[in-house]
C-alpha cells in the first residue's frame, strides 16, 4: 500500500532543506567580511547530525564520499571507487588524500594515493593494500560495503610527470584504462591547474626538470603499494597520447601481490612506447633481487637521460635515490616515515615557546614521534613530509632533516615535524 501524502511531505521537506542549504552557502560566499559573526547561529556539527538523516554524504563543511564500487586489485589489495560530495576540491593524478574512518567509536586517519586519474563524473579511486594486523587497512579493504560513507581530506602533494605537448586534445581516461571502461562518461573533464591544488607544484618545480627537456624518457620504479600513484600518472599519460618511452618496473613479494597485473600487461600490449616488468622477490620459481645497479642498467641503459619517479617503502626509496643519482631528474615518495638507525643517541633540550614547556628529546627520531612520546599532541597528517599538516616554525636553534641528512639553523623557518629531528638549542612555535 502506498501513502501519497507521506511521499509528498518527504519530497517537499527535502526540497525545502536543499533551498535552505543553498541559501546559507550563497550568503557565506557573497560576503567578503569575516564569517565568524554570521556563523554564531550556525553549528556545523548540528547541521551534519540532521543532514545525515536525508543523505549521509550531506555535510556543512566535511568532505564525505560514498563507496559506489569495490573490486580486487590483487590478492591483498582492494580498489574503492568513491563519489565525493560537493566539498571535494578536485585533484590530479599522483596526489594523496587522508581517509578517516570510525572503528569502535574511535576515529582513525590514514593517507592513501589516488590510484587512477579523477573521472569526469567526479568519482575517484583509491587502492588499499591490507596490512597484516592493520586496523584501518583491514576495515577499508574488507569491512566496507557499497553504499558506505567515509570522510576524506583535501588532496595534497604528489608526484608529477613532466608535461609534453602531444598535439592531441584531451582524450578519455577510460580509453587507456581497462578498469575505466567499466563505467563513467568516457570523457575527461577540464585539466586542473596543479598550482591551484593544496600542496601542489608547477610541473617543472615538482620534477626538477627544465620544461624544455620534458621529452625525456620516463622510468617508473614501484614497490608494494607504491604502484598506486604511478599507475594514476601512467593512465593519464597514455590517455593524453604521450609517446615518450615509459618503463615501469614494479616489485612485489609474489606475483599474486602485483596490483593491476593483467591491466598493466594489457596496457603494454596496446602502447608500443610502454615497457612493463613485474618482479617478484619471493617467487618460488624465479625470484628476483631488490633494485640494484644491474637491474637499472637493463631497464634504462642511458639512465642520465631519464626522468625517474619512484614510490615505495622508505628503504626502497633510499636505495633508488642513490642508484639514480645520475638521472636527469628524480622524484620519490616513501609511504613510511624516515627513521634513523637504531642506537643510543643523545638528547637535547627543546623549548615549546607557546606552552612554555621544556622537554628532553632524542636526536635520532622525528620530532613528531618524540613529542608524542613526551605526551604532546601536535597536529599531523601523512607523517611522511608531504601534507605539511605538522609544519611549525623553528624560532631558534637547529634541526636535522631526516630525508637529506642536513642540519640547518635559520631562525623563524617552518619545518615539518615528521621529517625533522631535534638538534642543539631548538625552540619550536608550539
Query: What architecture is domain 203-334?
Result: 3-Layer(aba) Sandwich (3.40)
66 phi, psi to nearest 5 deg: -95, 135
Q: pTM here?
A: 0.71
DSSP 8-class letter at 114: B
pLDDT in tens for each of the 430 residues of the chain? Answer: 444 444 444 444 455 555 555 655 554 454 444 445 445 567 888 888 888 878 888 898 899 999 999 999 999 999 999 999 999 999 999 999 999 998 888 888 888 999 999 999 999 999 999 988 888 999 999 999 999 999 999 998 878 887 765 555 443 343 334 333 333 323 323 233 333 333 333 333 344 445 445 789 999 999 999 999 999 999 999 999 999 999 999 999 999 999 999 999 999 999 999 999 999 999 988 899 999 999 999 999 999 999 999 999 988 999 999 999 999 999 998 876 555 444 567 899 999 999 999 999 999 889 998 998 888 988 887 787 777 788 899 999 999 988 778 899 998 889 989 889 999 999 999 9
Question: What pLDDT sits at residue 24?
Answer: 53
Q: CA-to-CA distance for 423 and 402, rounded, in angstroms?
A: 12
Domain limits, the chain = 16-61, 203-334, 347-428
DSSP 8-class letter at 322: H
Question: What pLDDT sits at residue 173?
Answer: 42
Query: Which residues touch 63 (CB under 8 Å, ≥6 apart)?
Result: 84, 85, 87, 88, 151, 152, 153, 154
Q: CA-to-CA distance for 401 and 290, rounded, in angstroms?
A: 26
Q: CA-to-CA distance for 430 and 413, rounded, in angstroms?
A: 13
Question: One fold for both 203-334 and 347-428?
Answer: no
Name which of 262, 273, 277, 278 is nearest 178 in CA terms. Answer: 262
Sign of CA dihedral 372, 376, 382, 387: negative
Asked whether the beta carbons of 282 and 254 are under 8 A apart, the reply is yes
Q: Residues 269-307, buried b or exposed e (16+ Cβ, 10 A)? A: eebeebebebbbeeeeeeeeeebeeebbeebbeebeebb
Q: CA-to-CA distance for 151 and 84, rounded, in angstroms?
A: 9
Is 354 exposed, middle or buried, given 0-12, 13-18 or 19+ CB atoms closer than 10 A?
exposed
DSSP 8-class letter at 134: -
C-alpha cell at 131: 596490512
Question: What pLDDT sits at residue 343?
Answer: 53
Q: CA-to-CA distance for 276 and 318, rounded, in angstroms?
A: 22
Pairing of strands 246-252, 274-280: parallel
**CA distances in angstroms from 154 to 44, 91, 167, 193, 269, listed in the order given:** 18, 8, 32, 15, 35
Nearest 10 degrees: CA dihedral of 89, 56, 83, 155?
30
Neighbours of 221 (CB within 10 A): 29
Three-class DSSP category at 422 = strand
CATH class for the domain made up of 347-428: alpha beta
Three-class DSSP category at 310 = strand
Match 560495503 to its residue by C-alpha cell. 145
Question: What pLDDT sits at residue 189?
Answer: 31
C-alpha cell at 304: 642520465
Q: What Rg value do the Cα atoms of the chain yield, rounded?
A: 24
Stated length of the chain: 430
- Residue 356: left if φ>0, alpha if ψ -120 to 50, beta else—which one? left
Asked whether the beta carbons of 109 and 129 are under 8 A apart, the reply is no
Neighbours of 24 (CB within 10 A): 15
Q: CA-to-CA distance for 263 and 254, rounded, in angstroms?
A: 17
C-alpha cell at 212: 624544455
Amino acid at each position: 500500500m502506498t501513502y501519497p501524502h507521506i511521499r509528498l511531505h518527504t519530497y517537499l521537506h527535502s526540497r525545502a532543506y536543499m533551498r535552505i542549504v543553498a541559501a546559507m552557502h550563497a550568503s557565506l560566499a557573497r560576503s567578503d567580511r569575516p564569517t565568524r559573526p554570521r556563523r554564531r547561529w550556525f553549528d556545523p556539527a548540528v547541521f551534519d547530525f540532521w543532514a545525515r538523516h536525508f543523505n549521509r554524504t550531506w555535510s556543512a563543511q566535511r568532505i564525505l564520499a560514498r563507496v559506489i564500487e569495490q573490486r580486487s586489485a590483487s590478492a591483498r589489495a582492494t580498489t574503492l571507487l568513491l563519489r565525493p560530495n560537493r566539498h571535494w576540491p578536485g585533484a590530479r593524478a599522483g596526489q594523496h588524500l587522508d581517509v578517516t574512518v570510525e572503528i569502535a567509536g574511535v576515529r582513525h586517519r590514514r593517507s592513501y594515493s589516488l590510484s587512477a586519474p579523477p573521472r569526469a563524473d567526479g568519482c575517484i579511486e583509491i587502492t588499499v593494500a591490507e596490512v597484516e594486523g592493520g586496523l584501518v587497512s583491514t576495515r577499508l579493504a574488507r569491512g566496507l560495503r557499497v553504499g558506505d560513507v567515509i570522510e576524506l581530506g583535501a588532496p595534497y602533494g604528489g608526484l608529477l610527470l613532466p608535461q609534453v605537448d602531444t598535439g592531441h586534445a584531451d582524450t578519455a581516461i577510460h580509453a587507456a584504462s581497462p578498469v575505466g571502461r567499466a563505467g563513467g562518461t568516457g570523457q575527461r573533464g577540464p585539466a586542473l591547474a596543479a598550482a591551484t591544488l593544496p600542496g601542489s607544484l608547477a610541473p617543472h618545480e615538482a620534477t626538477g626538470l627544465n620544461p624544455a627537456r620534458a621529452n625525456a624518457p620516463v622510468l617508473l620504479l614501484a614497490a608494494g603499494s607504491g604502484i598506486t600513484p604511478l599507475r594514476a600518472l601512467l593512465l593519464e599519460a597514455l590517455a593524453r597520447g604521450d609517446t615518450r618511452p615509459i618503463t615501469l618496473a614494479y616489485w612485489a613479494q609474489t606475483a599474486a601481490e602485483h596490483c593491476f597485473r593483467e591491466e598493466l600487461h594489457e596496457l603494454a600490449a596496446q602502447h608500443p612506447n610502454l615497457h612493463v616488468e613485474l618482479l617478484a622477490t619471493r617467487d618460488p620459481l624465479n625470484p628476483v633481487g631488490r633494485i640494484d645497479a644491474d637491474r637499472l642498467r637493463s631497464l634504462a641503459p642511458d639512465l642520465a637521460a631519464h626522468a625517474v619517479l619512484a614510490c615505495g617503502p622508505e628503504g626502497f626509496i633510499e636505495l633508488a635515490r642513490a642508484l639514480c643519482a645520475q638521472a636527469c631528474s628524480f622524484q620519490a615518495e616513501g609511504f613510511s616515515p624516515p627513521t634513523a638507525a637504531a642506537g643510543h643517541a643523545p638528547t637535547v633540550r627543546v623549548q615549546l615557546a607557546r606552552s612554555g614547556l621544556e622537554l628532553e628529546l632524542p636526536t635520532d627520531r622525528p620530532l613528531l614521534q618524540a613529542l608524542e612520546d613526551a605526551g604532546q599532541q601536535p597536529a599531523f597528517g601523512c607523517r611522511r613530509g608531504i601534507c605539511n599538516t605538522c609544519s611549525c616554525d623553528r624560532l631558534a636553534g637547529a634541526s636535522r632533516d631526516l630525508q637529506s641528512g642536513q642540519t640547518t639553523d635559520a631562525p623563524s623557518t617552518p619545518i615539518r615535524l615528521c621529517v625533522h629531528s631535534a638538534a642543539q638549542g631548538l625552540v619550536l612555535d608550539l
